[in-house]
Structure 1
Amino acid sequence: MTPADMAVLMARAMPDARPWSEAEFADLAARPGTILTGDARVLVIGQVVAEEAEIFMVLTDPAHRRTGLARDALARFEQAAREAGAIRTILDVAADNDAARALYDRAGYVCIAERRAYYPRPEGDAVAAHMLEKRL
């Protein structure tokens, strides 16, 4: 998957967010410890530093949601992180993102903290971020 493909997928998957540019994806992909799993329909992107993996985003094309692709890409990310020496994975998710919360709950992630008013919403008050963790 090229950085251009990643930028297109993000624009489709997150139309209300500021899209990352092809250059931003290229820069991230070039960093040591970066893990990318998925294809043109789904992408899990994150990084391993020491014994910790952090997932930066999980993107699923709207036409392919609820098909198990994100679950499979997430499992592949976790396996790659484990192989890179990570003993835990962390991420944050908007408290109102029910689909993502369900994905992470089923995958065994647990909430370890909350950041109040973290994600701004154009239609109102900012939403909390739940920080999640999974021991690998």
Structure 2
Amino acid sequence: MATTHAAAFTHSRSWSADEFAALLESPLTLAVGDARSFALVRIIAQEAELLTIATHPDHQRQGLARRIMETWQREATARGAAEAFLEVAADNMPAQALYQSYGFAECGRRAGYYTRKGAPAVDAVLMQRTLR
């Protein structure tokens, strides 16, 4: 996961193998996908939060992210989640379009949340949708 994350997130800090391992230790964390494309989701009570989603650049434009989106939402619903949340960089228009195609809508912003290597920080767009 760390290798794919690093390849996919070249303009911001990617997560380390230790960070992934710590998240995966929790029974509240759901992982879906494989080395090409994956998502990590935390489910607490009736809320699912997409922590990260990544597709290795060698495997982009093959529909993998769409399958991952469908899988994690279906699994979160099966585990009792009724609402889903995520955050995405304001300048990541392809990701926002993907999320909107699954019914996510903006519900807030975090100013200057994402730091960029050699560039100004970018807002996080908070998005939400009902799963049931």
Asked if TM exceeds 0.5, the reply is: yes
In the alignment, the residues of structure 1 paired with residue 78 and residue 53 of structure 2 have an alpha-carbon distance, to the nearest angstrom, of 20
Matching residue within 37, 42, 52 for 2:37: 42
The match for 1:105 is 100
* Residue identity matched to 2:104: Y
SS at match of 2:3: helix
User: Structure 1 pair 11/124, CA: closer, same or farther in 2 (3 Å)?
Assistant: closer
Q: 1:117 aligns with which of 112, 120, 126?
A: 112
Root-mean-square deviation over aligned CA pairs: 1.2
Please state how far the C-alpha of 1:37 moved relative to its aligned partner: 0.8
Residues paired across the two proteins, number: 131
Contact 2:30 2:43 in 1 (8 A): yes
Once the two structures are TM-superposed, the CA of residue 19 in structure 1 deviates from its matched residue by 2.9
Matched, 1:15 2:10: yes
Q: Secondary structure at the residue paired with 2:84?
A: strand
1:90 counterpart (60, 63, 85): 85
5+ residue gaps, structure 2? none
Measure the CA separation in 1 of the matches of 2:12 and 2:107: 25
TM-score (norm 1): 0.90
1:131 to 1:62, Cα distance in 2 relative to 1, 3 A: same
Which one of the candidate residues 119, 124, 127 is aligned to 1:129?
Answer: 124
Residues 1:16 and 1:72: Cα distance change in structure 2 (over 3 Å) = same
Q: Which structure carries more relative contact order (alpha carbon 8 Å, separation 6+)?
A: 2
Check if 1:77 corresponds to 2:72.
Answer: yes
Q: How far apart, in 2, do the equivalents of 1:98 and 1:59 lie?
A: 15
Offset at residue 20 of structure 1 (A): 2.1
In the other structure, the counterpart of 1:3 is: none
Which residue type is aligned with residue 69 of structure 1? L
